[in-house]
Amino acid sequence: MNKLVASIREAVQFSGLKDGMTVSFHHHLRNGDFVLNMVMDTIAEMGIRDLTVNASSLFDAHMPLLNHIENHVVTNIITDYMASGLGREISRGIMENPVQFRTHGGRPSDIALGRTPIDVAFIAAPTADPMGNCSGKYGKSACGSLGYAFADAMYAKKVVVITDNLVPYPLADFSISEQYVDYVVTVDAIGDPRGIVSGTTQITRDPVGLVMASYAAKVIENSGLLKDGFSFQTGAGGASLAAAKFLKEIMLRDGIKGSFGLGGITGYMVDMLEAGCFQSLMDVQCFDLKAVESIRNNPNHREISALHYASPAVRSAVVDSLDVVILGATEIDTDFNVNVHTDSNGFIMGGSGGHSDTAAGSKLCMIIAPMFRARLPIVTDHVNCVSTPGKEIDVLVTQGGIAVNPKNPELKQRLAGAGLPVIDIHELKEKAERITGTPKQRKKGDRAVAEVIYRDGTHLDTIYNVK
Amino acid sequence: MRRSMLFLPGNNPNMLINGNCLGADAVIFDLEDAVSPAEKDAARILVRNTMRYMDFRGCEIIVRINSIDTPYWKPDMEAIVPYKPGMLLLPKTGTASDILEADAYLTQLEEKLGLEQNTVGLMALIETAMGVENAFAIATASKRVRALFLGAEDLTADLQCKRTKEGREIEYARTRLVVAARAAGIAVYDTPFTDVNDDEGIWTDARYAKALGFNGKASISPRHVEAINSVFCPTMKEIEYAYEVMDAIELAKKQGKGAIALHGKMIDAPIVARAQQTIAAAEELGIRREED
């Protein structure tokens, strides 16, 4: 049996890809990814049209997609996140069919349930053997975890592994097993390492960010959840990382032994693992070199699939055991609904990723955001787009005070009792508006450019074009 | 209570609107060194409007105006005094007559605005050799003088020596200012620790200032505020001891005793005074005795 094929073109040919089918990609190579563009360029050259691209996330490295949209090679996009360069163009209404935004848990769940079947999955693999056993831990393009690619490999009709580091059979420490793989292609480079992982993710030195981070750590300290067995997820943003640093100091001071750290993993979470704050890290994606090195060498740093991470359709996912998650927001409204899809002008500039999955699974979901961005208050009457419903959000931390969702009166009491600056969210909005004034509501366009689909497959919101 | 006083550039809107979120007991809106001559008027308007529109509850506002040898100090006062700052910080105060000049104009303004006389206090920024030598005279020049403040950067330039992290070159000035302020019965504040990237050095420097007798310390970095607050906050042990002293005194009074010992040590008047200061500070910071 020979799975090795000569080129991407040959792999596409053998896969039987035809007009109207669906191809899929993972985003572990982030903004350094070459694979999506190489494959789509080849498909376009071969004259195949009307495809659906299902990608776990899209970055501005994928701007060439715009040509394929214009030429009707790509007529549908399904993704969990879209960076602002692409998002801006999509928001102008260049596609006939709205983009379908899912979540990191909803995407694999819908793939597994057959709601979004994949015809051919193209899996960028930093290391693979000739039968398709592959891993992200090794090779010049190492990215660590391959968590988002598992569902694609397991459920696509055909699976093509694309690697720039072919090793002799068997690659014993594989992530994705050969049992799912049809073809293996080698290329010179699957990506640019500089765009794949950051050298080190830096914590903020911005004083306002540090104030928010210190409040965030104190909220966790006083939430009643910070005890042995504690589990935690945080983002890679500056203030979130600073919160993790402060939390680590509290955990070490009080000798608290947590159970696991979850998520996209940074070096700061690795530091917490190594310092004994957690027994293990459950890693769906690595953000920096330190995380990649750790997942390669530390058996307590486990790779998990996106299904295991956050799917609402599996028997249990790790998010269901999560105590605290720290998340961001571009806007939050007085009902605590959070927008992470669009900017204040309505242009797409992100997506849920794991936002609503972790919000739903965790016991305490905290949003950290500054009271205002540029000239606009962060708290509004109605967000431009509901990415995560307010009922899943427990607390908003800003430099101007901490707003607790009224659904959680016990938390409010705990935080106020600890002397933290608790403030009603309406009052927080007014406080900001006293400085910025009340912004006018932006007029939406009349064409849907994206649909936001919740993790359970239900429709959450529609994003309209920007005129 | 001013454990920490944070300098914020008067021409930086982002810092000004976040000034009350940074944990400092007081902020010093700076119209002097942080602002170039071309921006003096813009900064003055910005600081005035910040005071007019923003809620700084729980955070005292002090404004560093320009020194009285510049054309800016009177317009500074005219813009700021109507919004009743906690104090004005008067830079390059060298003699008692500097204070008297500022005092006279403040009195005029207060009369014009219908404010009670001495509403706005002065904090004398001592940053010249002349100022150090005249510290007591400055401290007692007027009722408006509520505090002395050491500015070590300009002072070391004037002394023709290098400013070091250890600060031996300002040892004399520090102790001289503490003595002058105490003799005059006013507060005294220490110079900022200027290495904004040294998150550890600030602790050493603040502890040293507290050991010399300073009431608090200024900062040019929000990241230093927490260390300063923490150092200048009475410890639980100190608070507990202060209450024990007061309890013992109470008991002695009841028993009609003149002198009393606590933990084998005689309690005398200075110990009682210190205990009262500690309790007052703790109450102001909302720190309660553990069994309360």
pLDDT given at position A63? 98
Mean pLDDT across chain B, nearest whole number?
93
**Confidence label for B13 from pLDDT (cuts 50, 70 and 90):** confident
What is the amino acid identity at position B158? Answer: D
Q: Which of A202, A204, A206, A208 to mutate to test the interface with B (most CBs of B within 10 A)?
A: A208
Q: Is A47 on the interface with B (CB under 8 A)?
A: no
For residues A146-167, give the mean pLDDT. Answer: 98
Separation of first and last alpha carbons in chain A = 55
**What percentage of chain B reaches a pLDDT higher than 90?**
72
Residue B291 has pLDDT above 60, yes or no: no
* Closest Cα in chain A, distance from residue B243 (Å): 23
Task: Count CA atoms within 13 Å of residue B55 on its CB side.
Answer: 10
Residue numbers in B near A210 (CB within 8 A):
222-223
Mean pLDDT of A229-246: 91
Residues 74-103 of A with CB under 8 A from B: none
Q: Which residues in A lie closer than 8 A to residue B223 (C-beta atoms)? A: 205, 207, 210
Residues in chain A closer than 8 A to B21 (CB atoms): 208, 211, 371, 399-400
Query: In angstroms, rounded to a whole number, what is the distance separating the alpha carbons of residues B32 and B93?
Result: 13
Q: Give percent of chain A above pLDDT 90.
A: 90
What's the pLDDT score for residue B219? Answer: 96
Q: At residue B292, does pLDDT exceed 50? A: no
Name the nearest CA neighbour of A387 among A49, A67, A81, A135. A81
Q: What share of chain A in percent tops pLDDT 70?
A: 99
- pLDDT at position A200, please? 66
Total length of chain B: 292
Whether the Cβ atoms of residue A242 and residue A268 lie closer than 8 Å to each other: no
Q: What dihedral angle (degrees, nearest 10) is formed by the CA atoms of A446, A449, A453, A454?
A: -70
> Contact A463/A341 with Cβ under 8 angstroms?
yes
A113 touches chain B (CB under 8 A): no
Q: How far apart are CA A223 and CA A418, in angstroms?
A: 10
Q: Among residues B60, B70, B63, B61, which one has the least CA distance to residue B98?
A: B70
Average pLDDT rounded to a whole number, residues A129-154:
98
| Each residue's pLDDT tens digit, A203-217 | 788 888 999 999 999
Q: What is the pLDDT of residue B290?
A: 58
- Which residues face A395 on adjacent strands? A366, A404
Query: Mean pLDDT across the stretch B258-265?
Result: 81
Beta pairing, strands A459-464 & A448-453: antiparallel
pLDDT category, B280, cuts 50, 70, 90? Answer: confident
Report whether A177 contacts A200 (CB < 8 A).
no
A442 close contact with B: CB closer than 8 A: no
Contact indicator for B129, B94 with CB cutoff of 8 Å: no
Q: Residue A365 pLDDT more than 60? A: yes
Q: Does A434 touch chain B (CB under 8 A)?
A: yes
Q: Do B22 and A431 touch (CB under 8 A)?
A: no
Lowest mean pLDDT among A34-48, A128-142, A176-190, B268-282: B268-282
| Interface contact flag, A210 B223, Cβ < 8 Å | yes
- A271: which 2 tokens? 């530091």
Report chain A residues whose CB lies below 8 A from the CB of B23: 211
Please name the member of B22, B23, B54 whose beta carbon is closest to the beta carbon of A435.
B54
pLDDT tens profile B68-111:
999 999 999 999 999 999 999 999 999 999 999 999 999 999 99
Using omega within 30 degrees of 0 as the cis cutoff, is the peptide bond preceding A170 cis? Answer: yes
- At residue B200, does pLDDT exceed 60? yes
Helix ranges restricted to H, A191-342: 193-196, 207-221, 238-254, 267-274, 289-297, 306-310
CA angle A105/A106/A108 to nearest 5° reads 75
Average pLDDT for residues A423-436, to the nearest whole number? 92
